[in-house]
Amino acid sequence: MTLLPRRFLALVSFLSLHFVANGAVPAPLAWRQLPPLPDREGFAGSYAGASNGDLIVAGGANFPDRRPWEGGTKTWYDHVFVLAAENGAWRRSDRLPRAGGYGVSVNLTEGAVFIGGGDAARNFNDVWLVRSEAGRVTFTAWPALPRPLALMAGAAAGRKIYVAGGQTTPTATQAERIFLLLDADRLNEGWKILPAWPGAARIFPAVGTADGAVYLFGGAALTADAAGKATREWLRDAYRYDPTNGWRRIADLPRVAVAAPSPAPSHGGELLVLGGDDGAQVAVAPTAHRGFPRDMLAFNPATEQWRRAGDMPFSLVTTTLTTWRGRIVIPGGEARPGVRSTQVWATEAAAGVEK
């Protein structure tokens, strides 16, 4: 993986924030498709990351035979796919240590880090450093989470990895209000439980970082209905955390966003919430679902204001987001309830994506 000097990245970040704070709007993101994932259905909840110039997509789940409303069974995978060139072909590599998905993925200089997730029976507290070397993908155990978590979100601020929210079991009727930190330079200290944000516990938020601060956007709270099954409360609230001053509430999202691709990427000094489920079609029959929102919501950390930043040519939720060769990459995801996608979307390298 090609790395730019820290001073250069700091200068780019400073200039981006300066231009945004003074009213300049960053250039819109331009999207194009990379080779599709080599599967008939595609996956939601995959892990994804970059290592040594390779793009890695692993795990996830789909309904391979019938849709869920037709009695189909959700199947979980341990596949690992690697793309070495933008116009190349995906190849299969070594398998995940266990089949699963819906965890957190972040990139560090030494490789990708896959965090938590789960399968139909249980959620995981496993954390793996994932590297692509000499045609193989290897997995090295890192400090485990203090509890199993899936459907959470997270992001890296420099060498610090943050994880927020999620649920401890696949059938939980209450989300977790938990905020965790792992310092990649102090792995012997393990994960630290930090004070949580002053809002509801939630699953499927978007989390991003800017200038060392952590931002938590939206998601869904969980409650039990009369039959004891989990129901969702759709959230628009947002929060900012910095290690010195802790948490504070910031401007709400313009609309609900649940399960948007996460981590929330930085572009032109803004943090982006890309689509996400707005809950507008909760009561719509799955066969009549029109797909999820395509608009991009941009948050300016300097002014703490939101704007709509145009539309994407796709709408995918319950999917991770990674950066690869200066591009934002979204590999697969859920196109409609119960329907996966093999599409892999990436921004153009000239879009000014910040790592």
**More confident of the two residues 27 and 85:** 85
Q: pLDDT tens digits for 192-221?
A: 999 999 999 999 999 999 999 999 999 999
Q: Which two three-digit tokens encode residue 96?
A: 């995940």
User: Can you tell me the distance from the alpha carbon of 221 to that of 200, in angstroms, rounded to the nearest whole number?
Assistant: 7
The C-alpha atoms of residue 254 and residue 260 are separated, in whole angstroms, by 14
Range of weakest confidence among 13-22, 73-82, 132-141, 244-253:
13-22
pLDDT value, residue 121: 97
Reply yes or no on whether the pLDDT at 230 is more than 60: yes
Q: N- to C-terminal Cα distance for the chain?
A: 12
Residue 168 has pLDDT above 60, yes or no: yes
Is 316 a domain residue? yes
Give me the residues paired with residue 108 across strands.
111
Q: Please, which residues have CB within 8 angstroms of residue 80's CB and are 6 or more apart in sequence?
A: 56, 57, 58, 59, 92, 93, 94, 95, 96, 137
Burial of 268-279, coded b for 16+ CB within 10 Å and e otherwise, reads bbbbbbbbbbbb
Structural domain contains residue 199: yes
Q: What CATH number should be reported for the domain holding residue 349?
A: 2.120.10.80
1 assigned to some structural domain: no
Contacts 24+ apart (CB under 8 A), 223-232: 223/173, 223/174, 224/173, 224/174, 228/173, 229/173, 230/171, 230/172, 230/173, 232/203, 232/258, 232/279
Lowest mean pLDDT among 72-86, 165-179, 337-351: 337-351
Q: Assess contact for 59 and 16: CB atoms under 8 A.
A: no
Instruction: Please write the tens of the pLDDT for every residue from 279-321.
Output: 999 999 999 999 999 999 999 999 999 999 999 999 999 999 9
- Given a cut of 80, whether residue 12 has pLDDT beyond it is no
Q: Which among 16-25, 142-151, 226-235 has the top mean pLDDT?
A: 142-151
Give the CA-trace dihedral at 265, 270, 274, 278, to 10 degrees.
Answer: 130
pTM here is 0.91
Residue 23 has a pLDDT of 58
Residue 16, domain extent: 6-354
Percent of the chain with pLDDT over 70: 92
- For the chain, what is the domain count? 1
Judge whether 130 lies within some domain: yes
243: in domain: yes
